[in-house]
Amino acid sequence: MRITFLTPPILVGDRATERVAGCTYTLYPVPNIYELTVAALLEREGHDVRYKETVLEGMKRPQFEQWLARDDSDVVCFYTVNLGIENDLVAHELVRKHRGDQVTIVFEGPAPTQFPERFALDERTFVVRGEPDYTMRDLMQRLADDQPVHDLLGLTYTEGGQIKHNEMRPLIKNLDELPFPARHLIPEKFRYGFSNPKLGVSPYTAVATSRNCPHQCIYCVPSSLTFARELEYKKCHHRKPPISMRSIDHVRAELEMLAAEGYKSISFQDDNWIWTDKRTLELSAILEKLGMIWGCQSRADLVTEKRVEAMARAGCRYIDIGVESFNQDILDYVKKGLTVEDMINAIQLMKKYGMHTKINVLLGTSPLETRETIRANERFIKELDVDQVMFSITSPFPGTEFYDLAKQNGWFANGDYHPVDVQKEAITSFPRLSKYELEREVLRANRRFFLSPRFIRKNLHRFKTYKDFKAASVALYRKLWA
């Protein structure tokens, strides 16, 4: 089977969708390791696998249609997140326009998992829900052998004009069974051209050592793969899925391979990278030996001195902390399970060991939010002297507890959820904080922070090459003005 994983160009709007975190437009490109893991699995099964990333190529619609007219794929696969729904549905139309029924189309990712009916458009289009790896493997084998799919777990499809949803596929118990992402499918000029402003050293790539997070924050939309996994699991079990972790040896093998291939830095995409002392110290020792620069995400209460000291020594540049708010009432409302003191302790430990202090702050996580709580957060952040803040507006994503609360209380500004850029746009209005006030406050907070002399002075020295500095400047422009 000739299978193409296709990232279509910008066909709707004027910004490319980021598909790894899955809830923003692209500030800087991140290799989609989730899609590339599926691609690697299909390669291992003997299929002819291609990877077409038209956004990186700068392709426009006319060139895209010309490429489609020449394409000979048996299967075209889209990895779709909420912000990319309309764009990818237009791409589906164009594939059908140029290839007709000669090609099978498959959608995977969180958006098709949450809204499968929107994507099961015809009898040659399939929706792979939840954790996609083995459903994709089995679907390709069925298609190659011209076998029926009525019993294929994790699949939605159309038959006889009716949409059918097969039962959920059980989660993968052993992630070590999966191959490493097929990064080699990305053309070399792009593969080694990725630059992450938070790391300042390139070439960089992304790695995931685990899937999911056990905590109960009401608003949380984890990385795109684990959100798809979570949405599907909750439909059947009405609770979050268990965490799955790769073994230390499996992660070591991938990191050693990446170092040998010339990568200098890594952003770990785990929803939570820090777990136990043993795992954290073992992974840090591997990274220290390889001499790589890296960063990760973690809850504040898992950031202990023993772990931070080891991570900093091993080249960790940042730990991305989800602070959300320095107001304890708001933290309690959103079931964060943390205290303001936890946040302060984590930030102070990172500063003590010379890490770049990067935090995430969410505006509008609850009806307790006001302009005063937002401004108080800004003052507190200034006192803490953090290096970088990502200010975003909370969107109640379908499948979260926050969505249910927003529907019940009439907080949606236009009646229901619709995808927006959470770094710029609000879809909620609260009694004490309107949609327009939220949008004004997030823009104000971002501009005051990122255009301050303090931020510019602290970050200029971090970049080792002009290319890395340029990538950071482009990301900043997109955040503040695009």
Q: What pLDDT digit, counting tens, does each position of 112-158 carry?
A: 999 999 999 999 999 999 999 999 999 999 999 999 999 999 999 99
**Mean pLDDT, residues 176-195:** 92
pLDDT at 24: 81
pLDDT at 476: 67
Average pLDDT, the chain: 93
Question: With 80 as the cut, is the pLDDT of residue 473 above it?
Answer: no
Question: With 90 as the cut, is the pLDDT of residue 468 above it?
Answer: no
Domains and their CATH numbers in the chain:
2-165 (3.40.50.2300), 192-209+246-480 (3.80.30.20)
Beta strands 155-159 and 125-128 are: antiparallel
pLDDT at 27: 78
Question: With 70 as the cut, is the pLDDT of residue 430 above it?
Answer: yes
CA–CA separation, 27 and 18 (whole Å): 8
**Mean pLDDT, residues 193-217:** 91
Question: With 90 as the cut, is the pLDDT of residue 296 above it?
Answer: yes
Sorting pLDDT into bands at 50, 70 and 90, what band is 460? low
**Mean pLDDT, residues 8-17:** 93
pTM, two decimal places: 0.92
Question: With 90 as the cut, is the pLDDT of residue 480 above it?
Answer: no
CB 5 within 8 A of CB 147: no
CA–CA separation, 284 and 241 (whole Å): 27
- In a 13 Å sphere around the CA of 192, the CA atoms on its Cβ side amount to 8
CB 106 within 8 A of CB 126: yes
Sorting pLDDT into bands at 50, 70 and 90, what band is 307? very high
pLDDT at 450: 84
Which two three-digit tokens encode residue 176? 């070590």
Per-residue pLDDT tens for 324-347?
A: 999 999 999 999 999 999 999 999
